Amino acid sequence: MYIGAYILVGVMTVLFTGLLFLYVRHYLKRWQRQRVAVPGNDELLLARHVKYYQQLDQPAKTRFAQLVRQFLHHTTIEGVGVEVESVDRILIAASAVIPVFGFPSWKYTNLTNVILYPDTFDEQYQFEGDRRNILGMVGSGTLNGQMVLSRQALRHGYTAESGTSNTGIHEFVHLLDKSDGIIDGFPRNFLEHRYSDAWQHIIQQETQNIEEGTSDINPYAATRESEFLAVAAEYFFQEPARLKAHHPALYGILGLIFNQEPAY
């Protein structure tokens, strides 16, 4: 009799545990679906400010937002003379994700901190005085692993008036270029060696056009090869259809470098 009672209790316990498990799993899945269906603050800010994000399909938007959160989790963002707001964090993270969206597993192992200044700064990282003309900079020496950005320039890059310019993307492309050890305009971790000569030829031809005044590319691209890459990347991500129409060869090789086709 006692054995039968124990068996009955055991069976009831198993049934109760099973029903509880099914109940919890049902409501957990329901909660997860609701959680995914309702956009968080990150997604709302991306949808409001980032044109690149706006043009993605829903699965790509979900992946983009996840990469943004991963970047923010691993990177410290601090303000100097300015309070960092949520929109600043999102725009910095978007600037980091956009150039590497074609490489889902990419991690910025050469970056630990992003320092946000209120406006332009000089080579001594001072944001007061008459010699302030720098919008962003990838740190070196004692500032290795850090990036400095002007908040005004960062935000301007995500406005309708920005045109082909985006300081955030510009600086993160420098960081990608630096991932092979040197910022020289030849991102060896992204550009296959067999395309190096073609890339060199395009840089020379486009630089000549800039110097002759026959190009719509920002003249700053002609100052050095590293700046050509960063400026051309801004154009590629900001106005891809226009770049493809006006500079098809440049658009094509940038598509190979970044493993993306934004002009669709």
pLDDT-derived band at 240 (thresholds 50, 70, 90) equals very high
Angle, helix 58-74 to helix 41-49, in steps of 10 degrees: 110
Read off φ and ψ for residue 84, nearest 5 degrees. Answer: -70, 125
Residue 157 counted as domain residue: yes
Residue 14 counted as domain residue: no
- Mean pLDDT for all residues in the chain: 86
- Express each pLDDT in 32-57 by its tens digit: 333 333 347 899 999 999 999 999 99
Alpha carbons 58 and 61: distance in angstroms, whole number? 5
Residue 24 counted as domain residue: no
Residue 68 counted as domain residue: yes
What DSSP state is assigned to residue 117?
A: E
pTM: 0.82
Residue 9 counted as domain residue: no
Specify the number of domains making up the chain. Answer: 1
Any idea which residue has 């992204």 for tokens?
Answer: 190
pLDDT-derived band at 13 (thresholds 50, 70, 90) equals low
Complete edge-to-edge strand list for the sheet that includes strand 113-117: 76-79, 113-117, 146-150, 136-138
pLDDT at position 211 over 80 = yes
CATH number at residue 153: 3.40.390.10
Range of the domain at 121: 41-258
pLDDT-derived band at 127 (thresholds 50, 70, 90) equals low
- Summarize the confidence of residues 209-230 as an average pLDDT: 97
pLDDT at position 30 over 60 = no
Residue 13 counted as domain residue: no
- Summarize the confidence of residues 207-211 as an average pLDDT: 98
Residue 125 counted as domain residue: yes
Residue 20 counted as domain residue: no
The dihedral over CA atoms of 94, 156, 202, 184, expressed in degrees to the nearest 10, equals: -70
Q: For the chain, how big is the Rg over CA atoms in Å?
A: 24
- Summarize the confidence of residues 223-240 as an average pLDDT: 98
- Express each pLDDT in 88-125 by its tens digit: 999 999 999 999 999 989 999 999 999 999 887 776 66
